[in-house]
């Protein structure tokens, strides 16, 4: 089964089918064009030494927001950002949540507003399609600033760092690259920031919880209906006329 990544809104049922079944993700032509257009804009405007200092693109972060970073150091800046924020702790996040995080991150980046390159998105898609799940820890999110620590762990294997689960085995990302014949990605300006600024960690938990709640809601109705039938219960409380005289909706 294939799912085309596009800008269309997704239903809860679609999300469930995508993350719970063996689905292969592919970028739509429209998504590719949006991603490439935004990346080209950044490259054209901020490639030179005289480019205006712009936060997250050619400056430091936080208190270093006024420190200009030259073109030759932008790649290291983005890599340092991932490594410095990959400081989660606690228990490992379940792989079904990590799978959801991967999909939500891919979907978010595919809108073409983040300046990410297509190579990064396609590597994340390769992770999803090959059931490669980065090791992420439950504690460390800053919430309002984004899920910085969890998303840093999600993105770290892109540059050959951190650990992943692959075919049931926890391995170093460098070993994964050898197995898959991949080269570590070299992040460009803003790409590290685009990868960790987001809420895909908390959103993955929220969507997962909502899906599980829907399952319980469904089975509660089935169990209730079968119990009413099995115990030959009084059906008069279900009379529609009784409920119509009440002013409540539903």
DSSP result, the chain: -EEEE-SS---HHHHHHHHHS--EEEE-HHHHHHHHHHHHHHHHHH-STTPPP-TTTSB-SGGGTT-B--GGGHHHHHHHHHHHH---EEEEPPHHHHHHHHHHHHHHHTTS-S---HHHHHHHHHHHHTTEEE--EEE---GGG-SHHHHHHHHGGGGT-SEEEETTEEEEHHHHHHHHTPPPP---TTHHHHHHSS-HHHHHHHHHHHHHHHHHHHHHHHHHHHHHHHTT---GGG-HHHHHTS----
Catalytic: 55?
A: yes
Side-chain-side CA neighbours of 190 within 13 Å: the count stands at 21
**Which residues are 4's β-sheet partners?**
26
Out of 16, 41, 55, 218, pick the active-site residue.
55
46/228 Cα distance (integer angstroms): 68
**Looking at the annotation, which residues are catalytic?**
55
């Amino acid at each position: 089964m294939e799912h085309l990544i596009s800008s269309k809104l997704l239903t809860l049922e679609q999300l469930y089918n995508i993350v719970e079944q063996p689905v292969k993700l592919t970028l739509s032509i429209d998504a590719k064009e949006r991603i490439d257009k935004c990346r080209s804009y950044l490259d054209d405007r901020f490639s030179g030494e005289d480019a205006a200092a712009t936060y997250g693109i050619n400056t430091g972060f936080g208190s270093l927001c006024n420190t200009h970073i030259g073109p030759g150091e932008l790649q290291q800046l983005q890599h340092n950002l991932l490594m410095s924020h990959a400081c989660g702790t606690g228990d490992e996040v379940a792989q079904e949540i990590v799978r959801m995080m991967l999909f939500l991150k891919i979907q978010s980046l595919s809108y073409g507003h983040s300046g990410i390159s297509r190579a990064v998105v396609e590597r994340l898609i390769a992770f999803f399609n090959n059931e490669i799940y980065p090791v992420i820890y439950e504690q460390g999110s800053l919430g309002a600033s984004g899920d910085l620590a969890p998303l840093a762990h999600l993105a770290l294997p892109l540059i050959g760092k951190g650990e992943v689960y692959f075919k049931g085995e926890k391995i170093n990302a460098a070993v994964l690259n050898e197995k898959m014949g991949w080269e570590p990605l070299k992040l460009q300006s803003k790409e590290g920031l685009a990868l960790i600024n987001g809420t895909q960690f908390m959103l993955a938990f929220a969507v997962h919880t909502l899906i599980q709640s829907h399952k319980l809601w469904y089975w509660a109705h089935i169990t209730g209906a079968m119990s009413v039938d099995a115990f030959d219960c009084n059906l008069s409380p279900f009379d529609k006329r009784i409920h119509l005289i009440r002013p409540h909706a539903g």
